[in-house]
């Protein structure tokens, strides 16, 4: 297992925050030193820096423990992990963690030189911005696009409460291969579904929350159409290109993760299914 970036994607935005650091829960005190009942503080042990304030129902599980639990199940799953690539990043001063696993042994051709590989994405937080989530998806080699799918491959979501459990049934991970294979066949069908520029443009306008994004997606569609094609798969590729490579500002890791969820919801939506029927 190698830990690095995949073709420049998910490059750590803050190298000094990339490594895990010790955290603890402490009592919260007011400005004159009185304990604030019902509240607790998450802080870094090494620097003393406060990270977030939570209610008493919050349960702190360090990022590395959740990672270790998932990876233990991954190794027990029987999946071929040869040359697996792993990459981590953090944002918001280490409050949010993002991790991905790309499995080249499950590389499949969608069309021509356009291949994808099975991928798992994990994200977690100390600031309550997200649950501990692990999703299945794919990595698109030709353009280094990242995507998560709906519940068809893997979808684990657990809230940091007192009943939090980070155990993952390794058989669920084993089953991702057959689920991923079915998704591959679906994507190959997408690659054969031709669309007009008008249909694609109307779809981007309908699904984009802003005109700026609609214009960005449409321009990407036009620029890549002559090289790759005008199919439903190309619509999907335009969306994953935006989620992976679109402008992000300083908070790159968090933005990429949020955009992948945004794209997942689009692809699982009724308008996308209607677009498929129109192809």
pLDDT in tens, 106-133: 999 998 888 999 999 898 999 998 899 9
Residue 39 pLDDT more than 90? yes
DSSP 29-90: E-TTS-EEEEEEEEEETTT--EEEEEETTB----HHHHHHHHHHHHHHTT---TT-EEEEEE
Q: Are 117 and 124 in contact (CB under 8 A)?
A: no
Average pLDDT over the chain reads 85
* pLDDT classification of 240: cutoffs 50, 70, 90: confident
Q: What is the DSSP string of 80-128?
A: --TT-EEEEEEETTTTEEEEEEEEEEEEEEEETTEEEEEEEEEEEESSS
Closest by CA position to 191, among listed 116, 131, 122, 83: 116
Rg (CA), the chain: 20
DSSP-derived 3-state class of residue 11 = coil
Average pLDDT value for residue range 12-24 = 65
% of the chain beyond a pLDDT of 70: 86
Query: pTM (2 decimals)?
Result: 0.80
Read off the pLDDT of residues 265-274 as tens digits, 9 standing for 90 and up.
Answer: 888 889 988 8
35: its two tokens: 């304990």
Mean pLDDT along residues 43-62 = 94
Write down the residue that tokens 């692809």 correspond to. Answer: 267
**Average pLDDT value for residue range 152-165:** 87
Tell me the per-residue pLDDT of 79-101, one tens digit each, with 9 for 90 and over. Answer: 999 999 998 888 888 999 989 99
Alpha-carbon 47 to chain mean position: 29
Q: Supply φ then ψ for residue 129, to 5 degrees.
A: -75, -25
What are the CA-CA distances from residue 88 to residues 8, 114, 204, 237, 272 (Å)? 13, 25, 31, 24, 31
């Amino acid at each position: 297992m190698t830990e690095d970036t995949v073709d420049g994607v998910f490059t750590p935005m803050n190298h000094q925050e990339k490594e895990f650091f010790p955290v603890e829960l402490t009592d919260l005190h007011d400005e004159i030193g009185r304990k604030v009942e019902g509240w607790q503080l998450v802080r870094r042990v090494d620097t003393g820096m406060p990270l977030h304030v939570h209610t008493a129902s919050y349960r702190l599980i360090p990022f590395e423990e959740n990672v270790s639990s998932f990876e233990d199940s991954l190794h027990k799953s029987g999946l071929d992990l040869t040359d697996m690539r792993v990459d981590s990043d953090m944002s918001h001063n280490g409050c949010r963690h993002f991790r991905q696993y790309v499995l080249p042994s499950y590389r499949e051709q969608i069309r021509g030189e356009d291949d994808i590989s099975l991928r798992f994405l994990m994200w977690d937080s100390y600031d309550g911005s997200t649950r501990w989530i692990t999703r299945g998806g794919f990595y698109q080699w030709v353009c280094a696009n990242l995507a998560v799918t709906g519940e068809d491959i893997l979808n684990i979501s657990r809230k940091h409460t007192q009943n939090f459990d980070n155990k993952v049934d390794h058989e669920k991970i084993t089953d991702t291969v057959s689920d991923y294979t079915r998704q591959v066949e679906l994507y190959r069908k997408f690659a054969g579904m031709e669309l007009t520029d008008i249909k694609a443009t109307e779809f981007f306008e309908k699904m984009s929350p802003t005109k700026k994004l609609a214009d960005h997606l449409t321009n990407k569609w036009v620029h890549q159409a002559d090289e790759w094609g005008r199919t439903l798969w190309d619509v999907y590729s335009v969306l994953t290109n935006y989620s992976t490579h679109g402008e992000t500002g300083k908070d790159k890791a968090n933005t990429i993760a949020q955009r992948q969820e945004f794209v997942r919801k689009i692809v699982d939506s009724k308008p996308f299914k209607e677009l498929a029927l129109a192809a």
